[in-house]
Amino acid sequence: PHCADPGKKLFSSDEWNRMSWDPTEKDIPQQAVLRPVVKGPISAQSRGEVFVVIMVGLPGRGKSRVAKRTANYLSFFHGLECKVFNVGDRRREKLGYMNEKCYDFDDKAAMAARNEFNISCMKEMKEWLVEGPTNRVGVYDTSNITRKRRAWIMEELKSLEDNSRKLSVIFVELISDRGTINCTEMAKSDLNEKPSDTEEDFKKRLEHYERHYESIASAGDNDPELQLSFLKVMEHSNQIVMNKMFGYMAGRIAQFITNCAGGELALNYNTRLTRNDRSKKIYLSRHGQSVYNEHGRIGGDSDLTALGERYALALKDFAGSRIVIDRTGTICPCRLWTSSLKRTINTARHIDHPTVTLTNNDTWVQMKPKIWSNLDEIYAGACDGMTYAEIKEQYSMEAEARKKDKLGYRYPRGESYLDVIQRLEPLIQEMERHREPLLIVGHQGILRMILAYYKGIPRDQAPHQAISLHHVIEITPHAYGCDEKIYNLLPENSAGDDGQKHH
């Protein structure tokens, strides 16, 4: 340890181990800040810019899914305090189901009644954004399909900008002429347990919107809406239009939404997948029991035990019978990712990789393994290969520091969970882009972060999740949450305590 300025204090070895290039200081290109790991939202500590994301589009185009996932992304990967203000949710809470006649734009009484929810949601969002300096991103989630509505929004938001906090308003319009994401699902979300309400009623409601729909800046070169910052995502990201999107964070928002709203579908296998996000499933599995697991040691690059090998064979059968077969019984293209470590690669090595012919006569190599070092387990540095008992005995202060702040604690010459979050961010972009089922064979520390992101678990709670060996977690993200199922592939063979359950 050293210090360039002899007039300043020298750092102890413990202090030096916790000093790092801060990966969240991305607003200043090519400039890194050397400082200790800090608690809490890093990106929000010194900058006061406030972002308001305004969703625009017809019902059923995926606005709520994109809004919620974007808020999760900014909160989890950038440490920003985010909140979604969904007008439809507020209306459902107060009134329940409203039939299509309530959405007639020519019915002034019905429009006034619905507009009350727009006004109250806007008021709530403005109050939340000024409550404290850490509330940074509000997402206003409703249709906003007319120029008049968007002009009202901009007028309402003027009061938020002052000399101390910059306000950035970004409109995000999702456009699709192919139809809604899923009419049946959208109708069911409004049923409020009334079986008489039907998908047909939802389609009639949609017709009211279509008659009055005005796309952003659609009146030519002199359109005043060209002064707005906006992102148009057309036909599930097949075409993107960005206008006046400046700055690092606006760029991150645009990139994420571009991936989340559309995504690459394997060789156009089945267009149904692009319209129904419930078809996208992600399977998370730890590697089979390793030699280090058997002895309660952390890290390393040990191979599988005999029990771990049995799990690898069970995972092969599970993939062949469950993952690569969709709900209609059709073989569908699937992806397989592992870390670069031996125990994950060997766990996945038995999975079959046949070449299948798709409906458009193109071919796809099924479950072709892709190795990502980003998926490697959190690096324990000087503690790599030790048991937690040995760490407590030899590095008692380290063990206590980790216990107090599991998210921000960095192992001596190793990583923290905040470091892991930073290296997972590019992979999350990839995961959002793809629409095929994906199996990730990884490590507990890594899967904790991925699972927390999709389930909306705050990142300070994410490291405390327990993910058992020899289980597969199936998650299905969708507009209204994230469904989860857990499969025990070796019910007759317990892996025992790997020493990590409570760590």
Query: Is 72 one of the annotated binding-site residues?
Result: no
Provide the 3-class DSSP secondary structure of residue 265.
coil
> Is 289 assigned to a binding site?
yes
The answer to whether 227 and 244 have CB atoms below 8 angstroms apart is yes
249, 27 contact by CB (below 8 A) = yes
- Could you write out the DSSP letters of every residue in 463-497? GG----TTEEEEEEEETTEEEEEEEES-TTS----
Nearest to 157 by CA among 141, 133, 138, 144: 138
27 φ/ψ sector (left φ>0, alpha ψ -120 to 50, else beta): alpha
Any binding-site annotation on 241?
Answer: no
Residue 343 labeled ligand binder: yes
Tell me if 118 is assigned to a ligand binding site: no
Residue 242's Cβ-count burial label (10 Å; 0-12, 13-18, 19+) is middle
> CA of 262: how far to CAs of 128, 175, 421, 436, in Å?
30, 11, 23, 12
**288 among annotated binding-site residues:** yes
Mark whether 434 is an active-site residue. Answer: no
Structure tokens at 486: 């857990």
- How far from 182 is each of 62, 278, 361, 441, CA to CA, in Å? 9, 9, 27, 31
d(CA 137, CA 24): 17
Burial (CB count within 10 angstroms: exposed 0-12, middle 13-18, buried 19+), residue 452: buried
417 three-class SS: helix
Catalytic residue flag (residue 235)? no
Question: Strands, DSSP E only, in 90-210?
Answer: 135-141, 167-175
* Candidates 287, 434, 443, 478; catalytic one: 287
Token readout for 83 is: 């909140």
Q: Which of 141, 132, 145, 116 is nearest to 209 (CA)?
A: 145
Query: What are the respective helix, strand and coil percentages of the chain, to the nearest 5?
Result: 40, 20, 40
Cβ atoms of residues 135 and 128 within 8 Å? yes
Of 185, 294, 377, 474, which one is the catalytic site residue?
Answer: 377
Helix locations, 132-175, DSSP H: 147-157
CA atoms in the 13 A half-sphere facing the CB of 453: 24
Give the C-alpha separation, 165 to 167, whole Å.
6
Residue 291 annotated as binding site: yes
* φ/ψ of residue 216, rounded to 5: -60, 135
Which segments are annotated as binding site?
A: 286-293, 343
Which segments are annotated as binding site for substrate?
A: 286-293, 343
Active site residues: 287, 377
